[in-house]
Amino acid sequence: MSETTDSKSFWEHLEDLRGSLIKILAATLVFSVLAFCFKDLLFKIVLAQKDSTFFMYKVLGGGDFSIHLMNVGLTEQFMIHLKTAFAVGLLLASPYIIKVLFDFIRPALYENERKHSVSLVLSAYVMFLIGVAANYLFIFPLTVRFLGTYQVSEQVSNMLTLQSYMDTLLMMSLIFGIVFEIPILSWLLARFGLLKAEYMTRYRRHAIVAILVIAAIITPTGDAFTLLIVSLPIWLLYELSVVVVRRVEHRQTAKSQQLRANG
């Protein structure tokens, strides 16, 4: 811990925190305003999955389709524009936000803690972005194509609201960004000896049941198809976590054996 940090008073630390928060708010505001100004490009991206011209549909195959979105509230489109611009602005500003937060806490860390903290934060951030991208490219498009075109009868046409579409997209993006942190959390718990690969494999069936329950809770639409789509990547992440935990155990075992040999 640095001498400069130790010599600072509580109020000086509070002032540093206030400055960091101002920087974060300013960066988020700037990127949100930029996203708001580029309305056509913004909604060309977020509404891309509503018809078969989305490039991932061509990769996955399937027939042509198009979903008609409608607005039912006087202020709804403007508020959705604001909310979407803020979400995209926050995402674009996130690298700077993480840097500002790390610069604030870095003086309180020892040198070895800083090195491990950088690796941990970067890994968690990359996994969050991968989760958001996986939802945008695969999970949400599959959900939209199935539910948006599903009909109990040809006499009943689908007319989805813009609010429903955007709420589902933003919520699922946040959920999968968090869900993709499972391997990072497993690595951290394994480092502290709180998680064993043996337990994870022994209770795999219990974990699958828990995954289905969690997926049912976090699934915004509540249908069986979306439940399956949400559960599958969580299960794959669980299996990846087993591999991660096993590698941590092997490294710790090898390190212990080396220390005994040197001792």
Indicate if the pLDDT at residue 63 is higher than 80. no
Q: Which of the four pLDDT bands, split at 50, 70 and 90, describes residue 4? A: very low
| Amino acid 1: pLDDT | 45
What average pLDDT does the segment 54-62 reach? 78
pLDDT bucket at 6, cuts 50 / 70 / 90: low
Q: Is the pLDDT of residue 3 over 60?
A: no
**Predicted confidence band of residue 227 (pLDDT cuts 50, 70, 90):** confident
| Alpha-carbon gap, residue 47 to 190, rounded angstroms | 40
* 145/6: higher pLDDT: 145
pLDDT at 259: 75
pLDDT in tens, 7-38: 677 777 788 888 899 999 999 999 999 999 99
pLDDT 10s digits, 105-118: 887 777 777 777 88
How many angstroms separate the CA atoms of 79 and 72, rounded? 13
66-109 residue pLDDT tens:
888 999 888 999 999 999 999 999 999 999 999 998 888 887 77
pLDDT at 220: 61
Task: Compute how many other C-beta atoms are within 10 angstroms of the C-beta atom of residue 6.
Answer: 9
Q: How confident is the model at residue 44 (pLDDT cuts 50, 70, 90)?
A: very high
Lowest mean pLDDT among 11-25, 50-64, 131-145: 50-64
- What pLDDT does 7 receive? 64
- Whole-number mean pLDDT of the chain? 86
Q: What is the pLDDT of residues 166-181, one digit of tens each?
A: 999 999 999 899 999 9
Q: pTM for the complete prediction?
A: 0.82
Q: How far apart are CA 71 and CA 75, in angstroms?
A: 9
Residues in the chain: 263
Q: Given pLDDT bands bounded at 50, 70 and 90, which one contains residue 221?
A: low
